Amino acid sequence: MDFSSTQRSGVSAMKVDLILTHVVSGRTAATTVNLVDDLILGRADVEEYLGLEEPTISKAHVRLHRIVYEQDKSSISPMLYVKSLSRNLTTLVKRSSGSSTRNIKLHRESTPNLIEHGDILALSPTVHMQITFPNFTTPVLVLNALQRREAEAFDDHYLITKSALGHGGYGAVYMAYEKKSNRQVACKIVDLHHVSRMACEEAIDESNRTYKPMHFSEAAQWSAIKTRWQKRLMKKLDQGYAELAILKDLSHPNIVGAESAFMSEHTIYIFQEMITGGDLWSYLDTYGRPGLQDADATVIIKQLIEAVHYLHSHEIVHRDIKPENILINAWEPGGRVVLTDFGLAKRTITDQHTGLTRTHRQRMHTAVGTAGYAAPEVQLDNNGDLVETGYTCAVDLWSVGAITVLLFTSQSVQELFPVEELHEIDLACLDDADSDDPVAGITMDNDGHYPFMATCSQRTAIPTTSQKHFSGEADPPNVVGTLVCNLSDLSNAQHDIWGRIASAPKDFIKRLLVLNECKRMTARQALEHRWLAQPYYKDILEKVYQKAITGWRPRGHAQVERISAGDIKLAPMDDDSILLKMVRDTKSSYFK
C-alpha cells in the first residue's frame, strides 16, 4: 500500500516521515508521506512494510489528519493530528513535551491529539511507529525566564509545550497538557510587556505625526509621549483584563471558554479547550473551492449565529469575527463550530429601567476589527481615530454577513462585489431609520440596486465632492477607509457565482450587509430567517446541530488565580525603560 496521497491542485501537502518498528525482531521500515488527504493506517500496512502479521492491529487502526495554514495568512507551522479508529488500545508516546516521557492512551472515543516531532505511536505492544517532520526546526523557548518562574505556580496542573497553535496581536496560543487527565488543551499567553511595546510604538508614531521639532523642548516632548504611552497602555491592559473577565463566565457549545486562568502583573495565562479541526481558512482549503454547498454553509452559519446570539443576550459584542477566529472541532462537514479570540470583545450596558431599544445601547468608540469583516460604521478619520458616531453590537452581524459571502464564494466582500463611485448612488436618506425599504433601509439607486458600505483595506480617502452625498454636509470630514459596493449581482440569475446559489441565503446576506445598522437583522432575527428556519428542514437542521455539539458539556465559572514571581521586574505601567530605548533609537528628527 502506497502511503503517499495524490496532491490536489492548489492544496498544500505536508511532508511526514514514518518509521515502523517491530520491537521484538528489530525489523524497521521507513517511508515519506506527502499528506494532502487523511491517511488511514492499519493491519495491511504493517504486513506490507514489516512482513509480519499483527492481529491486534485493526484493519483501520489510526487516522492521520493534516492542517496546513496558508503561508501568507499565518506563521503557524503545519499541524498533524491522530485519531484512534480501533477498539484496541493505541498509545501516543510523547518525547518532546518536557523532560520526561508522556504516554497518552488513545481509544476510539478519544478526541484527536496533536502530534509533535519525534512522537511514537504504539499501534500494538510490539509494533511502534515514530513520526518526524523533515522540515522541522527546533522551536524557540515559549516562556522567558520570568514566565518560567511564574509557571511554577501552576506546574502541578499544567505543562505548556513549544507547539504553537496560533498568534494574535495581543498574545500567542500554545498546546499544553492538563496533567491530571493527560488531556491536551490550549494555553493563550498574553505578555503584558509585549503589550507595552505595542503602546510605545503607537505613542511614538502619533507623536511623530503631531509634533514639529522646533515647537517643543526635549523635556516637553518626552513628557507628552510618555503620557500618550501610559494612556494607550492602560487602554490595552484594560482590554486584556476584560477578555479574561468575559471568558471566565462563558458557557456555550459554540464559544471557546476558559477552563482556568492565572494572572500576574506581567503575564496572563488562559487555559482553554483545544479545537482540533483548524480554522475556517483551513476548512475552506479542504471543502470550499470554489465555495461550500448550501447545506454545509447552513450548518456553519447556524452555529455562528447561535454563538453571536448568546453573546448579545449576555451584553457582549465580539468585534472581531473573521475566519481566523472561527474554529471547527471536526475533520469533516457537520462538526462543531467554535468562536474564539475575545481579545477585542467588550461588554455593553442596557438601561433596564428605560426600555430603550437595541440601537440606544451604549455605543462603542474604539476602532477595532479586521478589514474585510469589520462593519462600515467602524470608520477612522485622518488621524486614525474612530468617528464620533460609534457603533453597537450590530457590527457582529455585518461580520456574519461577510463570512456568509466567503463560505459560498471563497472570496471577500471587497473582492466579489463591484465598487461604485459614491456620487453615482443617491445616499441622501441613508440615515432614515423610518425608510420603507425592507431590505437595506437606505435609498436605492436609479436601477433599484441596494448599495452598501464596506471597509477598504487600503484606507483610500473618498474625495470631498463625493463625500458630501454621504454625510449631507457642505464640507464634511474626510472619512478614510470607506468605499461603496453594489449588491445587484446577488439578483443576477446569470451571474457565474451567485446564479448557482439559492435565493434564501442571498436574501440572508442582503439583510446583514446593510449600511444602516438599525435595519440590519439582529442575531435572533437571523436565526428566524427563512434560510435557517424553513419549516420543511428546520427540524433536520436542529438535529444536525445537536449532533455537532454532542460531547460538549456546560462549564462552570472559571477560577482566575493571582500569581507572582516576586519583585524581580517592574510591572509594565511602572517600566518606561522600553519607551526610553525606543525613543532614543527612533530615526525621527523629533526625538534625538
Residues with catalytic roles: 320
DSSP-based three-state secondary structure for 210: helix
Alpha-carbon distance 365 to 348, whole Å?
12
Residue stretches of the annotated binding site: 188
DSSP-based three-state secondary structure for 190: strand
Alpha-carbon distance 565 to 577, whole Å?
20
Cβ atoms of residues 445 and 425 within 8 Å: yes
Alpha-carbon distance 321 to 400, whole Å?
7
DSSP-based three-state secondary structure for 312: helix
Cis upstream peptide for 438 (omega within 30°): no
DSSP-based three-state secondary structure for 129: strand
Alpha-carbon distance 73 to 288, whole Å?
17
Alpha-carbon distance 176 to 161, whole Å?
5
Residue stretches of the annotated binding site for ATP: 188
CA 489 to mean position of chain CA atoms: 29
Q: Residue 310: CA atoms inside 13 Å, Cβ hemisphere, count?
A: 19
Alpha-carbon distance 128 to 112, whole Å?
19
DSSP-based three-state secondary structure for 307: helix
Neighbours of 415 (CB within 10 A): 11
